[in-house]
Chain A
Amino acid sequence: MNRVKSVLAFVLILALGSLSAISQPNRSGPPKLGPPPALKLADIQHFKLSNNLPVVLMEKHGVPVFQINLLVRTGSVNDPQGKSGLANLTASMMEEGAGSRTSLELADAIDFLGASISAFSGMHTTHVSARAPVSKLDSTLALFRDVALRPTFPSEELERARKDRLTDLAQAHSEPSAIASAMLSKTLYGNDHPYGHTATGDEQSLRSFTVGDLQDYYKTYFHPNNATLIVVGDVDPKTIIAKLNDLFGNWKDGDIPTHTYSDVPQVKQRQIFLVDKPDAAQSEIRIARIGTTRATPDYFALQVLNTILGGAFTSRLNMNLRETHGYTYGAFSGFDYRPMPGPFVARAAVQTNVTDKSLTEFMKELNGIMQPIPADELDKAKNYLALRYPENFQTVAQITNQLSDMVTYNLPDNYFNNYVQRVLAVSEKDVENAAKKYLDPSAMDIIVVGDRKVVEKGIDSLGIAPIKNFSIDDVLGKAPTVEGNK
């Protein structure tokens, strides 16, 4: 009897125990979360090669891969008058023959290693980049050095690249988002500022380039006193610095010209620039003005401001235009921070027949963001920006990008570690001030690329701004004809 009782009790305890082990979830609200973890990155290590070329390095072990970037401080802002596209073309031509290898030989050597090596130019920086398994480190570095320091710019490859770019330019005439981007640069910055040009060049400049142009540009800007190496991955610092010294230590300094550019006047009124794209299924909308530089002390306040307006899924623009009205697949905004003031742009591709209504909602949100921000919305935006930050450091490619920004904009070494607290320190007042300082809904360029015969009347009747009409050729020039080849 006793025995049976105790067995029963034992069974009961077991049953209770297992019940508590799979206790019912409490679905009455989101679970309470503990404190967020801190990001602990490996140290940023600094070295100088024998010729003083700086190296910034971060070890990342775990997966046996590495990436190396040579960052050179030049880009399309240094395109000479009438030669827009030179920086971009020169960078991509570095892949078309280097050292003793022709374009095809170089590509075969890189592909056979399973490496990727590329060169590309932005507005202010040019990157030569290599990524490969660490088992291919030596062979990859040798090819990387050839592309970076020994490009040959063969004339027959220039002819191929010229034809490729002219064809791309022709094709852009049917790409609504490419047309909208070109129009935005033109209206905001005009022809006299380097930000007003398309980085890939126009027909006239593309036809004018000679091998001499590329060589001159390369010789002018590609020097160790104008460059930094960035290395990330499963590498031993001492070993790789020795290898880099062998490969890059004899690279010689040069006199780097400096350029100054006049300030660009801010947009002073509201104007609509309507580019006709007959029969387009959607209208590409861009609403823009001049923003600010990466060095602005208002950077974190602006990032929080933009997260509230259009930087995340639950931002106001997307909630309104996508989730409430169903006008679009997504609406965003962003500040493009550059060494000189880059643009602020709000954007969406909207269904053609609601183009006017979409503009109304855009303007409503741009006006709304000038008002005080509710505390919970501010907190959500700050947390989103700050707490998801570690996501940006998962791969060697991501870390290389972060370090590139650090080098480009002279950010301090403690920048990554201080990021979270600087975002969280942004106050309601900071955001309000930033909105007043940088956003003025009554002075913005509104670009619409869409079907004029369907959208113009409705936009006009909104009465928000005068409309100027453009053709695609007004924006991109006439589509170039590309000579056939046998």
Chain B
Amino acid sequence: MKFTGDRYPGFALRASAVLLLAAFVPLSLCYSQNLSVKFEKFTLPNGLTVIMHEDHSVPIVSVNVWYHVGSCREKPGRTGFAHLFEHIMFEGSQNVPPGEFDKWLEAAGGDNNGSTTTDRTNYWENVPSNALELCLFLESDRMGFLLPTMSEARVNQQRDVVKNEKRQSFDNQLYGQAEIIIPENLFPPDHPYHWNTIGSMEDLTAATHDDVADFFKKYYVPSNASLAIAGDIDPVKTKEMVTRWFSDVPAQNPVMPLGQPPVYMTAQKRLVNEDNVELPRLYLAWATPAEFAPGDAELDVLSNVLAGGKNSRLYKRLVYDMQIAQDVEAFEQSGGLASQFYVIATARPGHTLTELESVIWEEINKVKADGPTKREVDRAVNGFESGFLDRLEAIGGFGGKADQLNQYYTLTGSPDFFNQDLARYKSLAPDGVQSICQKYLREDGCVILSVVPKGKTDLAAQSKKEGK
């Protein structure tokens, strides 16, 4: 569901699924072992924060850079720009001729990718440990010296690639329009989450070379970035190399926080989208508290109670017992300014979304009335615990340790926030989940989107008044 705007498809698509897990799978602290990830952190005079973590299990190093800018910083008429900019970052810099970024890395045995969300843009290289310095050269050159050689032609070329990314990931994708329609209705037009990170074709067309320069100067500044290096490293030598390569990246004005207050819906919006699909699909969506804000962890657990596994309430009713749905899922998509909670179910042939919707509300209302059971909460938290352990294995790539250190640092200021994150879940009790469900999963404050086959609007979810 969550679009992360990877630079490159294929293997990367699998990788972005990992990122999804890292973002959504919360964790519990039922484990006796100390699960913290040891790191060393320092800040360069230009404001760049550097995080190092040693892991010699395989002879690779992952270099991972987060810029604290995403589509939430885009100007009106320039939606999709943060992601287009991410693509442009691979097109060469003052001392890296066009095309050489990828070629030099591949010749050294390296992989790389980047992705953009509403809140941040990340870049990584996984290389054999002898090639660490190459990554530092490439990352520092584009952090400090992207613009002198940036041409209009290179912007145009990546604009076409990004438009094809939109065609592939949304327009030619089953139900692909839903994730564009929902945020537009969940958040008001002046809210930075109103538009999807992929943006609109018109705005992508409108982006200019000047936009690239402005965006770079404003947001791609060392104090708005953090560099995490994990793997087979010698910390002393690594610190020296990082200091050398990034010392000439000029300091710039700091980026101020957006200061966006939370916005919750105060009405029910019912929408229908006709698309090239075989089966109708229902989306219920709510605006919910931001990542790490009170309520965010409860909503992670609630999503599991509702649709995590065969014994979850919605799966058991809709798919297993009644067999009127092909699938159902629920998740809290956490974001820095606000989160979005989704319930998504696909109707079997012969069934309408109205039938599905009434069962979904019945089950949500049961949680509001009685709360989840203790076993349901424990089962969810145990699953999160294992997911956490799995997350400690991979060094690089999306969702690897370097990426997670940067994620925690960006969101909380503390790279090794693993234990505190776990503690959020460990402390939860069924009645806490219940009261959060009452507070946020409101019938009078949500978006209800029906995606139906073209010409079959009768399959859409009807409101109770219109219904039979």
Residues of A that sit less than 8 Å from B by CB: 21-25, 27-31, 33-40, 60, 62-65, 103-104, 107-108, 111-116, 131-133, 135, 160, 163-164, 167-168, 170-171, 173-176, 279-282, 312-314, 319, 322-330, 332, 349-351, 379-381, 383-384, 386-391, 393-396, 479, 481-486
Known: A111-B383, A279-B276, A380-B107. A174 touches B174 (CB 8 A): yes
Whether B172 and A281, one on each chain, are in contact in the complex, defined by CB atoms closer than 8 angstroms, is yes
Known: A170-B278, A170-B349, A329-B164. A64 touches B389 (CB 8 A): yes
B294-333 CB contacts (< 8 Å) to partner A: 308-311, 316, 320, 322-324, 326
Known: A113-B382, A171-B278, A394-B395. A330 touches B95 (CB 8 A): no
Whether A170 and B279, one on each chain, are in contact in the complex, defined by CB atoms closer than 8 angstroms, is yes
Whether B59 and A37, one on each chain, are in contact in the complex, defined by CB atoms closer than 8 angstroms, is yes
Bound Cα distance A381, B392 (Å)? 31
Contact of A388 among B95, B128, B129 (CB under 8 A): B128
Q: Which 3 A-B pairs have the closest CB atoms?
A: A387-B109, A326-B160, A37-B59
Q: Is B363 an interface residue (CB 8 A)?
A: no
Listed A/B pairs (19) with beta-carbon separation below 8 Å:
A23-B244, A30-B137, A37-B129, A63-B392, A65-B389, A113-B382, A160-B323, A167-B279, A167-B348, A174-B278, A282-B171, A313-B106, A326-B163, A383-B107, A391-B58, A391-B396, A394-B57, A483-B350, A485-B348
Q: Is B257 an interface residue (CB 8 A)?
A: no
- Residues of B within 8 Å of A63, CB to CB, are 389, 392-393
Residues of B that sit less than 8 Å from A by CB: 8-10, 31-33, 55, 57-60, 94-95, 99-100, 102-104, 106-112, 126-131, 133-134, 137, 140-141, 145, 157, 159-161, 163-165, 167-169, 171-172, 174, 232, 240, 243-245, 247-248, 276-279, 308-311, 316, 320, 322-324, 326, 348-351, 375, 378-379, 382-387, 389-390, 392-396, 400
- Residues of A within 8 Å of B232, CB to CB, are 37
Known: A36-B128, A167-B279, A173-B278. A387 touches B161 (CB 8 A): no
Whether A329 and B133, one on each chain, are in contact in the complex, defined by CB atoms closer than 8 angstroms, is no
Contact of A25 among B112, B171, B244 (CB under 8 A): B244
- Residues of B within 8 Å of A279, CB to CB, are 276
Nearest B residue to A164, CB-CB: B326
Bound Cα distance A67, B245 (Å)? 41
Bound Cα distance A174, B349 (Å)? 14
Nearest A residue to B322, CB-CB: A485
Whether A390 and B128, one on each chain, are in contact in the complex, defined by CB atoms closer than 8 angstroms, is yes
- Residues of A within 8 Å of B382, CB to CB, are 111-114
Nearest A residue to B156, CB-CB: A326
- Residues of B within 8 Å of A113, CB to CB, are 382
- Residues of A within 8 Å of B106, CB to CB, are 312-314, 380-381, 383-384
Write the nearest CB–CB distance from B24 to chain A, whole angstroms.
Answer: 16
Whether B172 and A114, one on each chain, are in contact in the complex, defined by CB atoms closer than 8 angstroms, is no
Bound Cα distance A171, B278 (Å)? 5
Besides A323-B157, A391-B58, 6 new A-B residue pairs in contact (Cβ under 8 A), listed by A number: A22-B247, A104-B320, A114-B386, A115-B386, A326-B164, A383-B107
Whether A108 and B311, one on each chain, are in contact in the complex, defined by CB atoms closer than 8 angstroms, is yes
Whether A112 and B310, one on each chain, are in contact in the complex, defined by CB atoms closer than 8 angstroms, is no
Known: A114-B385, A383-B109, A484-B348. A104 touches B310 (CB 8 A): yes
Write the nearest CB–CB distance from A26 to chain B, whole angstroms.
Answer: 9
Bound Cα distance A108, B310 (Å)? 8
- Residues of A within 8 Å of B107, CB to CB, are 379-380, 383-384
Contact of A33 among B112, B133, B140 (CB under 8 A): B133
Interface centre among A64, A103, A390 (most CB of B within 10 A): A390
Write the nearest CB–CB distance from A60 to chain B, whole angstroms.
Answer: 8
Write the nearest CB–CB distance from A171 to chain B, whole angstroms.
Answer: 5
Bound Cα distance A85, B9 (Å)? 29
- Residues of B within 8 Å of A167, CB to CB, are 279, 326, 348-349
Nearest B residue to A105, CB-CB: B311
Whether B316 and A104, one on each chain, are in contact in the complex, defined by CB atoms closer than 8 angstroms, is yes
Whether B126 and A391, one on each chain, are in contact in the complex, defined by CB atoms closer than 8 angstroms, is yes
- Residues of B within 8 Å of A37, CB to CB, are 59, 128-130, 232
